[in-house]
Structure 1
Amino acid sequence: MIRKLNRIIQDFLRPIRLEIGRKIWDKKTETHEELIKNNKVDMSRVKSILFLRYDGKIGDMVINTLMFREIQKRYPDVKIGVVARGAAMDIIKFNPYINTIYIYEKGCEEKTARKIAEKNYDVLVDFSEMLRVNQMKFINLCKAKINIGLNKEKWNLFDLSYQKNYNKHITDMYKNVLNLLEIENPNLSYDLYTGEFVKEDIKRRIRELGNPENIVILNPYAASKHRSFNREKILQIGKKVLENPKNTLIFIGEMSKKNEIDEIMDILGERERVKYPTLSNILEVAEFLSYAKYIITPDTSIVHIGVAQKIPMTAVYRLDTGDNNSVVWGPNFKLAKQIFSSDIAVSGEEADINKFKIDEIVI
């Protein structure tokens, strides 16, 4: 009851806070019309671009890598900076197209923004659908010459705006941004660089497993319990994978789930063909995925990493209820199969992803 009341209060206060925040921060002290030509950035004048990816979402960052590469291919002298946080930072840790990574920490926004302002970035690109007050302040204090944002036509803080089509894959939105940067017909594949140390370490660990020929990776868990496989479904999938005597089943997931996975492995038996390696970070996960013959997952981060690695997969989604999530955030990859839960959200409860047929998974 207290939690529900607090949510009601926060929902009431949010638009008020946003309105006040916008009155304070939705402004620019300087305009740089010389950097805009025909409603696009005049890239002949641009020396640096800053991307804001402070949401910490791994999958989004994987997809974002296409932009860094395409900009550097077309404009090799342009310096690229990225603001990021959490595990998403690891995704770009070894990316050769990025010059500087800035850590976004709540409570330290002003310090980071002023550090960025010293670099005098020509262009700033923000991907937020709804800006919170601290993000408005952050963008304002970065003091880039040109700010680009999503659906920001009526903002004073932004000089150029781009659109997101909710009937198309998210890469269409990135194409729109690249178009503002005078880049047409971009390559929309993703990049993933894990680093030599991780590569050698995972190669060693694969050898220790006996260099299995057919690795099938099962990632049972997503960020929400409603989007994660339950015990029954994990067992069903595991048994299906092991029907082929050539397959080795590898579980990946948070170590907080270790006890549950250990119990499932005991039930499945065949310990020689069922493993649950300890993986310390997302780069180790990504490198392990590169050895897979097939991936099964309900988690979009793993979907996008698998697409970057060009691994065949089954990606499980809940039925769309007007948001086109499976289209916008789908694999968009010819070797990926999407299957859907039949459950529908009722009375504010999230739909259960486990209402799908096991025989739809074809390995």
Structure 2
Amino acid sequence: MKKILVMKFRNIGDVLLITPLLENLKLAFPDAIIDVALNEGTQEMIRLNPYVDTIRIYDRAQIKSLGFFKRIYKEIAFAYSIREKKYDIVINTTEGDRGAQLALFSGAKIKIGYKPNKNKLLQNVFTHLLPPQEFRHTIECNLDALRVLNLPVKEKKVAIYWAKEDEDIIDSMLVKQDFIHIHPVSRWLFKCINDTTMAEIIDFCKNTLNQEVILTASNDPFEIQKIEAILAQCTSNPLNFAGKLTLKQTAALNKKAKMFIGVDTAIMHMSAANDTPVLAFFGPSGADHWGPWDNELMQSGYTTRKGIRTMGKHTVIQEDWDCVPCGKDGCNGTKVSDCLMHLDLNTIQKTIKKMLS
């Protein structure tokens, strides 16, 4: 029986996008134990996944808050917890020294990852090197771990799971079962569109198209303030669930929606995983890397780097500017992206009508 560890020390959306890799590993090794190592706060994307045996949590914030010697002790203890499991295969799906260090310490015979750029001590850690991303979707990059082992890629479906209790809570909150789910915010301000434009989108859906609108956001004070600023400019009265739902409950809610409208966030990827049609606004980030993935397709539809693109049932709206996508956190250090401040409302409205029809 093989023991496999998949590491993804990144954010919530990044973690969700490893689910196709997990399913394919189980298809290749049906009897394998498959564990996943993640940053604290991202585990909900994997919890209840039938292809995962154990989730190993690295609490970065807690460890960083410790003094030097306690921090070193915690780091070593986490590494030992991996080594004692005696994994056969360790897959580090992101660049960075932490995953390389843990792979080295794991003692695994097969170690897969990206070659470290700076740390010379880690240059030869991996037995199998992953190729650079270039202009490929992140899902394809995660699946490279299969390709370097000469294993087939049989599925490219992103999946999220929740408990019946989560769905029961959503059912108890819904007055109407027919609605559009809008998640207007990101914890990264530079991914957000103009508040006025978002308010006009909400009013268009509610007043013009006569569609119920449900807004979601986390309970982060910044996100709640952002929602309040948008609602202050609305003439309609959408249902506001901001700060009231967990990630799993948000996923359960989204599954019932006619479509999703929002920016480049984990909630967008959850919507695509639910096969809910997505209209996403992209600015500095590239849809070729991060666009909503259509689970019915095996090839990315994001073959160009900017402008309006579709992948199956999903649509990305992005300015066709020379500087897009820039990969920066806003223009000139402002944390605000000009390319997201001037989106054409008429184009957005036509796209919403087309997707609903």
TM-score by length of 2: 0.78
Superposed, 1:227-242 pairs within 5 Å as 227-242=191-206
1:185 shift after superposition = 3.5
Distance 2:217 2:242 in 1: 9
- Displacement after TM superposition at 1:156 (Å): 1.8
> How far does residue 319 in structure 1 lie from its aligned partner after superposition?
5.7
Aligned to 1:147: 111
Per the alignment, residue 326 of structure 1 pairs with 287
Decide which of 67, 77, 94 is 2:21's aligned counterpart: 67
1:188 aligns with 2:156: yes
Cα deviations across residues 111-144 of structure 1 (Å, max 9, x unaligned)? 1210121110001001222x23x54433332222
Aligned partner of 2:4 among 42, 49, 52: 49
Is residue 78 of structure 1 aligned with residue 20 of structure 2? no
Residue 267 (structure 1) shift: 4.6
Q: Is the 8 A contact 2:7 2:99 kept in 1?
A: no
Structure 1 residue 261 displacement after superposition = 2.7
Change (3 A) 1:226 1:88: same
- 1:205 and 2:151 equivalent? no
Q: How much does 1:77 deviate?
A: 0.3
RMSD, aligned CA: 2.4
- Candidates 250, 253, 273, aligned match of 2:214: 250
Partner of 2:180: 216
| Whole-angstrom CA distance in 2 between matches of 1:286 and 1:265 | 23
1:159 partnered with 2:127: yes
Q: Is the contact between residue 2 and residue 33 of structure 2 (CA under 8 Å) also seen in structure 1?
A: yes
**Which runs of 5 or more residues in structure 2 are unaligned?**
64-73, 295-311, 324-329, 353-357
Aligned length: 306
Indicate conservation of the 8 Å contact 2:16/2:160, yes or no: yes
The alpha carbon displacement at 1:224 in A equals 1.7
Is the contact between residue 66 and residue 191 of structure 1 (CA under 8 Å) also seen in structure 2? Answer: yes
Relative distance call for 1:252 and 1:160 in structure 2 (3 A) is same
Name the structure 1 match of 2:274.
309
Equivalent residue, structure 2, for 1:174: 142
- Matching residue of 1:281: 246
| Equivalent pair of 1:53/1:61 in contact (CA under 8 Å) | yes
The residue that corresponds to 2:261 in the other structure is 296
The separation in 2 between residues aligned to 1:347 and 1:231, in whole angstroms, is 20
Deviation at 1:175, TM superposition (A): 2.9
Partner of 1:41: none
CA distance in 2, matches of 1:221, 1:349: 17
Match 2:49 to one of 95, 110, 113: 95
Q: Secondary structure at the match of 1:327?
A: helix
**Separation (CA, whole Å) in 2 of partners of 1:164 and 1:316:** 26
CA shift digits 1:247-306 (9 cap, x unpaired): 1111111332334534543553443x4333543421111111111111111123122111
Task: Say whether 1:109 aligns with 2:75.
Answer: yes
**Identity of matched residues, %:** 21
The answer to whether structure 1 residue 337 and structure 2 residue 315 are counterparts is yes
Q: 1:48 to 1:182 in 2, by over 3 A?
A: farther
> Which letter does structure 1 place at the counterpart of 2:181?
I
For each residue in 1:166-217, what CA deviation from the matched residue of structure 2 results, as whole angstroms up to 9, or x when unmatched?
A: 22222222332112344213211111111222122222222xxx2332x112
Cα distance change of structure 1 residues 152 and 186 upon mapping to structure 2, 3 Å threshold: farther
| Cα pair 2:28 2:151 within 8 Å, conserved | yes
Letter matched to residue 4 of structure 2: I
Q: What is the aligned counterpart of 1:360 among 344, 347, 353?
A: 347
Q: TM-score, normalised by structure 1?
A: 0.77
Structure 1 residue runs without a partner (length 5+): 1-45
Report deviation, 1:359: 2.0
Which residue of the partner structure matches residue 43 of structure 1?
none
Distance 1:232 1:183, change over 3 A: same
Q: Which stretch of the first structure deviates more once superposed, 260-269 or 215-224?
A: 260-269
Relative distance call for 1:185 and 1:264 in structure 2 (3 A) is closer
Give, as a single letter, the amino acid of the residue that structure 1 aligns with 2:145.
V
Residue of structure 1 in register with 2:88 after alignment:
122
Alpha-carbon contact 2:207-2:236 (below 8 Å) kept:
no
- Give the residue type in structure 2 aligned to 1:359: N
